Amino acid sequence: MVVGNLRPATVTVDLAAIRHNVSEEIARLDGHTEMFAVVKADGYGHGAVPVAQACAEAGATGFCVALLDEALELRAAHFTQPILVLGITPANEAAIAAANDVSLTFGTLDWLKDAQADLAAHAHRNLKVHIALDTGMGRIGFREEDDLAAAAQYLTAHADSFTTEGVFTHFATADEKDTTYFHAQAKRFNELVAVLPKRPRYVHVSNSATSLWHAACNGNMIRFGVAIYGLNPSGRGIPEVPYPLQPALSLTSELTFVKQLHQGDAVSYGATYHASGDEWIGTIPLGYADGWLRRLQGFHVLVNGALCEIVGRVCMDQFMVRLPNKVPVGTKVTLVGSDQGTTISMQDVADYSRTIHYELCCILTQRLPRRYINQ
């Protein structure tokens, strides 16, 4: 996708906020616990490489991604820290991972056997692996002790092909006030880990929510994700956090067209909005092709610090707002961020959209250029 550098619409990422969030969490960790920064999905839409650099500067010692391709992007950018792919990579890519010193996740004995065959076909390069345990997320990983024991035995027998670097699970409800299911998962994790003949270097269970609110479970490594970007993992579910999270992302644009409508005049597809009288309407040059959702009709943006309602349906490339008065073309519009003391947070957008801020950050498309400040 082409980047809209010649259009007035920009995602701005404050790298000082990234460094603040990471360093504050590292300060809470004991001296035996490392932080791996989760920069998958292009750093949750913020930009994987500049975010990873800021995290490393703040003290993160490794990175987590979702795809092998994302790991290779970091290697191409000359990051030498450990990198773990959290998802299941096809076993026939094992040699590529090993050649680039990337750690892979597995959750079945069959995967190990297939990966070993791929490694053997490429001169037995050694692959670092992390054992995934499904303790209740229902996504990937070993569920039964017998299956895990068989895999552990295979790893021992093929120590020339594999280095068992880690074991982990993922909590489904660490961001909720009710901890019943969380504690059941923690118990199951301990039961499964007890099957292993010895603990690997990294034993990790903590995502952002777990580390923020259940630090006793951290193990010796945390996978710090959404909180890096200054976003509360629970949304509004658990507002209390150990330190202020600083949102790193803002989204701004400009008015490209301003006109006056009269009573009864309609706006946008479907004519779902009609002016109730004489109204000033401004057009903003981005839309759902940029990740600004069609369902945001009725929400608002900031113009000169004033909340301005989105009127009519959001189009693919443009949307319209009702202005308090005639405003010049070229006036700044804040979709996410602060203007003259008023703030629209990504959580505000998520609440209106009936989704989560994770999703909204990730769907901001590459057509929106990323600008980095406080590098």
30-54 confidence digits (pLDDT tens)? 989 999 999 999 999 999 999 999 9
pLDDT given at position 323: 98
Q: Closest Cα to residue 18, out of 46, 29, 269?
A: 46
Can you tell me the distance from the alpha carbon of 91 to that of 104, in angstroms, rounded to the nearest whole number? 9
Please check whether residue 54 is in contact with residue 15, taking contact to mean a CB–CB distance below 8 angstroms: yes
* Residues in CB range of 292: below 8 A, 6 or more apart: 251, 286, 314, 319, 335
pLDDT given at position 124: 67
Q: Closest Cα to residue 40, out of 373, 270, 325, 362?
A: 362
Asked about 243 being catalytic, the answer comes back as no
Query: Is 139 among the annotated ligand-binding positions?
Result: yes
Q: Is the dihedral of CA 182, 30, 222, 234 positive or negative?
A: positive
- Class level of CATH domain 15-229: alpha beta
Can you tell me the distance from the alpha carbon of 17 to that of 21, in angstroms, rounded to the nearest whole number? 6
Whole-model pTM? 0.96
Can you tell me the distance from the alpha carbon of 311 to that of 290, in angstroms, rounded to the nearest whole number? 18
Max distance between CA atoms of the chain, in angstroms, equals: 79
Q: For domain 249-355, which CATH number applies: 3.40.630.40, 2.60.200.20, 3.30.70.1520, 2.40.37.10? A: 2.40.37.10
Can you tell me the distance from the alpha carbon of 95 to that of 92, in angstroms, rounded to the nearest whole number? 7
> Which pair of tokens denotes residue 91?
């076993």
Alpha carbon 309 to chain centroid, angstroms: 28
In the chain, domain spans: 15-229, 249-355
Query: Is 221 among the annotated ligand-binding positions?
Result: no
Please check whether residue 22 is in contact with residue 225, taking contact to mean a CB–CB distance below 8 angstroms: no
146-170 confidence digits (pLDDT tens)? 999 999 999 999 999 999 999 999 9
> Which regions of the chain are under pLDDT 50?
none
Catalytic residue among 187, 269, 326, 332: 269
Q: Closest Cα to residue 362, out of 90, 38, 61?
A: 38
Torsion angle (degrees, nearest 10) of CA 215, 183, 200, 216: 20
Radius of gyration of the chain (CA): 24
pLDDT given at position 1: 87
pLDDT given at position 344: 98
| Percent helix, strand and coil across the chain, each to the nearest 5 | 35, 25, 40
In which region does residue 312 sit, left (phi positive, over 0), alpha (psi from -120 to 50) or beta (all else)? left
Asked about 154 being catalytic, the answer comes back as no
105-144 confidence digits (pLDDT tens)? 999 999 999 999 999 999 767 999 999 999 999 999 999 9
Query: Mean pLDDT across the chain, nearest whole number?
Result: 97
Catalytic residue among 40, 44, 128, 358: 40
